[in-house]
Every structure is written in structure tokens, then in C-alpha cells.
Structure 1
Amino acid sequence: MFALGLLTCAVLTAFSAHAKVVKDFNGCREFFYKNTEPRGMDQTAKKICQVYGQSYYYATLYSTYHKIPLYSAYVFDPYVFDPKCENARGRSESWHVEPQISDYPQRNMVRETKRDLRSLGLDEGRIKRSQAMSSDYTGTDYDRGHLNPNSFNCGDGRNATFTLTNAAPMNPCFNRINWFKWERYLRNILYMLYYSKDGRSATAYIVTGTVPNATLRIPQKKVSGEPGRVTVPSHVWTAVCYKHLTDNSKTFSFGYIAENRPGESDIDPISDSHLILVPDLNVQLSRLYSELSGTPQRVSIFADDCWGW
């Protein structure tokens, strides 16, 4: 279809972010192709419409058992290549947690520092029972790897990605080299299609997710008095639905899945040999989730696979 390559990613950090925990995704279904969320994953996980200010920017399914997001669903923002957006890139070490996941009434994300939590009357122990904190990553040699990357967003949308409900433990070599290459190339391809080929007459729906490892958790006993709180993903995956607004013959989808480990940085990011059809990605995820849960699972990322056959 077009030459697309593999493995990449992005290392991301935090600003001030807000979120809204919801019973369903009705308030932010615009981030799902055909307004339909993925099926076949843990439906007891928390559904979050990620909010910054007064706007929704993406949607996340967050597992309080594994303390990582199972996926974040978002729409590619071609404005990321505007010079104002490019020049506004920054990096912050301020991370946030979501009080609503821990059954607090606060609608907004809050900084995870002890001082900020105390100022709002939030108990750190109660927060930690249902979600990860940066202290879980300290001394573990794992990155806080984002699912919805800041490089796919601008302005407040970028700020909204800086939350631990959008991050999972990633091997640093995988995160900073392999996944970064994939992410950067995907961004360039979508921009080229959107602006050069289709005249802004398309929407790119993206879902990036994790497969929890059945046995690997952080932090380790040697670095923490509270070991094994956060599950490390065995795999990280992305599914893309490029939906043309007027000509369905130009609509297509593809997927990519990689093990969360180093050692594949020599893969050519311009080669499409590692891309797979969305139905094939569904099959792989169904198998991996079935092995994880011990019961048959049937994963479906996009309605009608977004013309994936």
C-alpha cells in the first residue's frame, strides 16, 4: 500500500492535565472510528475521557489492577507540523494522578507530589491503591512510556498527554529508540497523506495499547518497600484507521505490534514488512489476552476493521 516502517516511539513527560472518569465513553466517542470503542479487553477497567480545560483530547481505558492503561484512543492532529507547535515543544518532569480513579470527587488531574496531594486533602496511600505513581518507576530502569504521545498533539492537547494514566513501563532502549522511530515515521506518513494526497479530507483514528505481562511487575523488591505494584507490558501495539471523508476507496487501516524489549533498533523504519492488517492484529491480541486471562478473548479494535480486509 505504501512503504511504512517499524519500531519507534517517544519519551514523554508531564504538564498540568485534567481528566474525567466516566461510566462510558459517550462524552468522547469522537476519538473512536464510527464512535465505537475497542472490544475484548478488560471492560471492568476505568474509562477516562481525558480533559484539559474545557475540551476532551483523547480517551483511555485504564486497568486499576495492572495500574497501566490498556489503550489510549486519539485522533492525529496535523497541526503538529505548524512552526508554532513545533517551537512550543518542551519537557516537564511534573506528573499527575487521577483522584477520581481512587473515588475522590475531584474532576481534575493533580500533581502527584505529597505537598499537592495534602493541599487537596488527598491521601497518597488511597491514590496508590488504584494507580501508578512516579515512585513506582524510581530505580527500576523502566521509562514512563506514553501511549498517546505529545508529539501527536499541540497546545493543551499536548499538556493533556502528561499523565500517568497515559503511561506504562517501557524498556528504555525500546522506548527511546525503537518505538520512537515507529512513532516519528507514522506521524510523517499521516501528515503527508492528509496534506499532500487527500487535501485534508481524512481523519486518522489511532489506538495505542499494551498487553500486560503475566509475571513481570515493578518496582522490584531491591528498590522499593512496595514491590510489584505496576505491571510491565509484554507488548505495545498501535492500530491506525485512515478514514477518507468522501471516498471510501481511499480508506484503509494497518497495525503494528512489538515486544517491549531492546534489540530491534536496526529494523529499517521505512520498510512495511512488519506492518500487519488490523484483522491479524486482532487475532494476535486475542491470543495474547486469552493467555493472560486464561479464558478465550476476542479483541476487535475497529468497527468493521476499518476496511482492513
Structure 2
Amino acid sequence: MRKSGPGHSHNSITDCDCLKQRSFCGLCSVTQEQLHTMFVLGLITCVVLRAFSAQAKVVHSFDECGWFFYRHTEPSGMDQNAKKICQMLENRGFYYASLYSVHHKIPLYSAYTLDPRCSSSHGRPKDWRLEPQGTMRNQAISSDYSGTGYDRGHLNPNSFQSDDGRTATFTLTNAAPMDARFNRVHWKSWESTLRSSLLKQLVMDRGLATAYIVTGTVPDPNVRIPQRGTSEEPERVSVPSHIWTAVCYKHFIQ
């Protein structure tokens, strides 16, 4: 366990020998507290809503977009009432999968693969998408985050994708409240380190591999936004106590 917060260098990341292997699975977990105190467990690790057509296809099983999971196997032990979503963008196919809790109004996880064409230098879309109410009821909305000190934190990071896949990550069914400093400094640094390590390995393997990634949340039952007294509809969205990431890197030959 390593403590990370103000006064602690966020550039010092635990070395992971497993990232040098051709096939590996890894898990990290990060806890965020209200006063910017975070603990890292394991290996490593306002905006206007736009009205264009964004479709989250709610499915009974992930068979339709199961290729985002290693061996088409989704995580077990999750909330059975959560909604399974194959994430779409204007009917252009599926870009990743999410398990969304309508009770907590945050995703429990998003499953995705690293796009080797991704670039951290590309600009971010300015707009977040809200899924049609006929598709996903009781979801979080942008105003739930306003003035709370929490960012809309990506689970499937836009920097891991390219082109339309990048735009498809900007949906509130792929976002959970993250403390602003945690999201913009610490979590961003760990995402960058993981991304760089995986891209380097993909280059070494000449693209003959796939990095399967699942990033998820652990909802805190006692912390919700907006806070009471700040909104007509307070405490709609649960704040995660932990953010975790699991990685499986599969080489096609081995």
C-alpha cells in the first residue's frame, strides 16, 4: 500500500515486472477521500449536454459486445440489478461495454481495449452526452456535478481511444464522481503510465496482441452528490470510495 496525496510525488509509480511479459493479468485499486487523500492498492495503476443521437444499447447479456472482455468473460459478483450496456455512437457500432447502476447512478465498470492508434495530443470533445431517457432512465445528469468539487471521471479513458471511439467515451454512463485533484493529477498520471507501458509492449509485439482493460468503481453508500442544501434534488449520485483497474494482455501467438 502506498499513500498518495499533497506533498507526495505522483510521478513515482510502483514498478510492474508483469508489464514486461507478453501475457499477464493485473489489478489495481485506488481510494479517493474528500480531502484529496488517496491510497493505491495492488500493482499500479460547465460542460453542455449535447442533443445529438447517442445510444446506449441496454442488453440482457454482453454477447453482443463481449469482445471487449478477455475471453468474452465479464466480471462476476456484481449487482444483479445493474444495467448492461453496449456503448454506441450514432449507430456506428459498439465501442466498449459498461455495467451501470441505476441506484448509484454511476457505472460499476467499463470494459474496453486499448486502441494502438490512440494519441494523448488530440483535443477533447467539449460535450458530454446524455443517453435518451427511453434507453436509460434515472441516470446522472450534468447538473448533479455542478459546484460539488467532483469531476466527471472517465472509466474508459478518452486517451486510450481514437476518432469516434474517443468521442464515445464522453457519456455520463461512463463517468463517476472523482475528486478534481485526484482525477486531474494522480489518476491522470497512473492512466498515462499504464497507457505508455501497454503501447510500448504492443510496439514490441508488432501489434500481435490485445490489451483488455476493465476499470470500475466501488460506490460509497454514505457519500452522494449533490450535497443537501445545494440542489432541489440532492444526493442523487454515489461517490466511489475506490477506483480499480484490471488488465489482461493477450499475445495472439502464446
TM-score by length of 1: 0.64
Deviation readout 1:15-62 (Å, 9 max, x if unpaired): 754321111111100000000111001021001000123211000000
State the match for 2:131 in structure 1: 98
State the match for 1:46 in structure 2: 83
Superposition deviation, residue 225 in structure 1: 1.4
SS at match of 2:117: helix
State the match for 2:73 in structure 1: 36
State the match for 2:93 in structure 1: 55
Distance (whole Å) between structure 1 residues aligned to residue 230 and residue 100 of structure 2: 25
SS at match of 1:221: coil
Q: Answer yes or no: is 1:174 the counterpart of 2:182.
A: yes
TM-score by length of 2: 0.78
Q: Answer yes or no: is 1:2 the counterpart of 2:17.
A: yes
Deviation readout 1:34-92 (Å, 9 max, x if unpaired): 001110010210010001232110000000000000000000111114xxxx5542340
Q: Does the aligned pair in 2 maintain the 1:218–1:232 contact within 8 Å?
A: yes
State the match for 1:131 in structure 2: 139
Q: Does the aligned pair in 1 maintain the 2:148–2:225 contact within 8 Å?
A: yes
Alignment root-mean-square deviation, CA: 2.4
Higher-strand-fraction structure: 2
State the match for 1:69 in structure 2: 107
State the match for 2:245 in structure 1: 238
Change in 2 beyond 3 A, CA 1:14/1:195: farther
Q: How many residues align?
A: 214
Distance (whole Å) between structure 1 residues aligned to residue 55 and residue 122 of structure 2: 20
Q: Answer yes or no: is 1:80 the counterpart of 2:84.
A: no
State the match for 1:22 in structure 2: 59
Q: Does the aligned pair in 2 maintain the 1:60–1:71 contact within 8 Å?
A: yes
Identity of aligned residues (%): 56
Q: Answer yes or no: is 1:225 the counterpart of 2:232.
A: yes
Superposition deviation, residue 222 in structure 1: 2.4
Higher-helix-fraction structure: 1
Distance (whole Å) between structure 1 residues aligned to residue 121 and residue 196 of structure 2: 17
SS at match of 1:223: coil
Distance (whole Å) between structure 1 residues aligned to residue 227 and residue 49 of structure 2: 24
Superposition deviation, residue 149 in structure 1: 0.8
Change in 2 beyond 3 A, CA 1:13/1:26: farther
SS at match of 1:225: coil
Change in 2 beyond 3 A, CA 1:195/1:171: same
Which of these two proteins has the greater Rg computed from alpha carbons? 1
Query: Which amino acid in 2 is paired with 1:208?
Result: T
Superposition deviation, residue 14 in structure 1: 7.7
Query: Which amino acid in 2 is paired with 1:2?
Result: D
Query: Which amino acid in 2 is paired with 1:168?
Result: A
Q: What are the within-5 Å matches in structure 2 for residues 178-193 of structure 1? A: 178-193=186-201
Structure 2 unmatched ranges of 5 or more: 1-15, 20-27, 31-39
Superposition deviation, residue 202 in structure 1: 0.8
Which deviates more, 162-171 or 44-53?
44-53
Distance (whole Å) between structure 2 residues aligned to residue 43 and residue 3 of structure 1: 32
Superposition deviation, residue 3 in structure 1: 7.9
SS at match of 2:241: strand
Deviation readout 1:166-217 (Å, 9 max, x if unpaired): 0000001110011000000111000000012x12111100000000002000
Query: Which amino acid in 2 is paired with 1:138?
Result: S
Distance (whole Å) between structure 1 residues aligned to residue 121 and residue 239 of structure 2: 33
Distance (whole Å) between structure 1 residues aligned to residue 179 and residue 83 of structure 2: 25
State the match for 1:202 in structure 2: 209
Deviation readout 1:91-112 (Å, 9 max, x if unpaired): 40x222222xx4x26xxxxxxx
Structure 1 unmatched ranges of 5 or more: 106-126, 248-309
